[in-house]
Structure 1
């Protein structure tokens, strides 16, 4: 009888495993491990602090370090890619596959660090992320739209998926009929499930939120008739094409709604505070409407960071000259 998996490792079927990276709180930030015929690929890594768990996941599944062929961050925000360099140091045969707009930041992470520092501050950067480790240039390559890579004969398709960030790609796994979505399919926290039904919200964190490209990315993913979506925040959602389509429709409606909210507050002197309050009020109302039994206070605490970052991202979108 095989040994039970560690608490942070979840078998999702089809050779796909979710690893709770431990970032911020339980079941907030996932990395994924795809296993096929003894070979493996990581999709997203979490931060440097997650790397011991990622390596422990290999150990739990009986996989050697040199069984990993690919490390694929969906984009280079640090909760998705902060641990790529450190992880690569432990995986002698792995190659990093990065969106072309993000590749240079994995090879030389100084600008990435400074950009995140401006958002989070030095204390939070040290506490949550640790020192970024560069990926050797000879072990990193840029993806391209429509690229197919092979994991022991299992095809993984990458497509460009702007809207949350311009350096974002998503990965289609035909074997599971699922997308590894990073942040393109929004956030869905298990605390807010109702009778097994997930709720999702779009994420507009700084600095590249663009509503129309985001909706186009959602539509392109739906064209593959997915049965499930593997979200970094958090886990697999969708048990059928119908459920995935319903979640996508709700995300599109929310994107339009919060964009309209932002435009209505463009010149407000207290814009940031009103954006945060408007977002939180919408989320709390949506949860009540779904029959969620938790309190507004719990939702406010669990979603406080998202409200702060989404408000910042909406403000950047409002102030962008080309908008």
Structure 2
């Protein structure tokens, strides 16, 4: 595995190799008086997290706070498994996500419906988090982790209703999970971000409202769940505002052209439209169509298409 990345401001990024792919998900380690970790990814990523902490010479007994931006399994699926190794830690979660970490049966059922026979390989095991080790954080709540470093939590729906973003006072940065998109470091030099519109709580209007809230914090850097840091927040905001309506339009076009098609047929066509849109853009930016970034993009755009179709079906009911 790769070495942990020093981001400055007493923060380190550990690559968690989601789906065995480098640069897809990561954990952020905040080296404060009360050691804090943001995101754990899915359970198959926990060995990478443990190895990264070992390389940093961190004793797991010193981990005090584990924060998940939302409860989708690629962000929080491994939190229960990881918590078993951290006897002095608590888990911080959005109020709408707390019960699902305590009892993940609905999370498991939902993911099995989407991923089918691949579920076990991608996510197993999903370990419940004991109720007495869960802490809800609501809009404006703060967590002082020592050394003058304060984390402030902001409700940020759009990608999911159980999502918050966290401002870090030391770096004047914000951990945004998936609320304002996925960052693709593989597209070298482009600072390339796309919205994450996965099912089943995608809401474009809420996503733009959350973006405006984050924009109002006037941060210097953004820490993405997928994957890494951008030091150009204005560019990020501009990309989401550019791409989000185009993603929704790609779905609306399919609903107009194929009104009687099944969910699966619509999803397949929307994914094709999204891939064409994004590939055309990147080729124009001198990213050739055989570039490794497409391996990441095509996976994500298929899930994005599912969320768009799900959203439009609800709108048309």
* Superposition TM-score, scaled by structure 2 size: 0.93
Unaligned runs of 5+ in 2: none
Does the CA contact (< 8 Å) of 1:284 and 1:296 recur in 2?
A: no
Partners of 1:9 and 1:205 in 2: CA distance: 29
Listed as ranges, the matches of 1:146-225 within 5 Å are: 146-152=140-146, 153-194=148-189, 197-225=190-218
Three-state SS of the structure 2 residue aligned to 1:200 is: strand
- The alpha-carbon deviation at position 75 of structure 1 amounts to 0.4
Distance 1:300 1:27, change over 3 A: closer
**Could you report, residue by residue, the CA deviation over 1:98-156 in whole angstroms, capped at 9, with x for unpaired residues?**
001110110011111011111111x3111111121011101102111001001124100
1:234 aligns with 2:246: no
Q: Counterparts of 2:46 and 2:85 in 1: how far apart (Å)? A: 9
CA deviation profile, 1:60-111 (whole Å, cap 9, x unmatched): 2232222111111100011100110011111111111100111011001111
**2:13 alignment partner, SS class:** strand
- Pairing 1:122-137 to 2, within 5 Å after superposition: 123-137=117-131
Q: 2:299 aligns with which of 305, 310, 315?
A: 305
What TM-score comes out, normalization by structure 1 length? Answer: 0.91
- Note the residue ranges of structure 1 that are not aligned, 5 or more in a row: 1-5
Secondary structure at the aligned position of 2:5 is classed as strand
1:81 equivalent in structure 2: 76
Residue 299 of structure 1, CA deviation? 4.9
Quote the residue 1:318 is aligned against: 312
Distance in 2 (alpha carbons) for counterparts of 1:70 and 1:210: 30
Cα drift, residue 291 of structure 1: 2.9
Q: Per the alignment, in what secondary structure is the counterpart of residue 265 of structure 1?
A: helix
- State whether structure 2 residue 56 is matched by structure 1 residue 56: no
Aligned residues: 309
RMSD between aligned residues: 1.7
CA deviation after TM superposition for structure 1 residue 43, in Å: 0.7
Give SS of 1:32's match.
strand
**Which stretch has the larger CA shift, 79-88 or 294-303?**
294-303
In structure 2, relative to structure 1, the CA distance for the partners of 1:300 and 1:22 (3 Å cut) is closer
Distance 1:155 1:260, change over 3 A: same
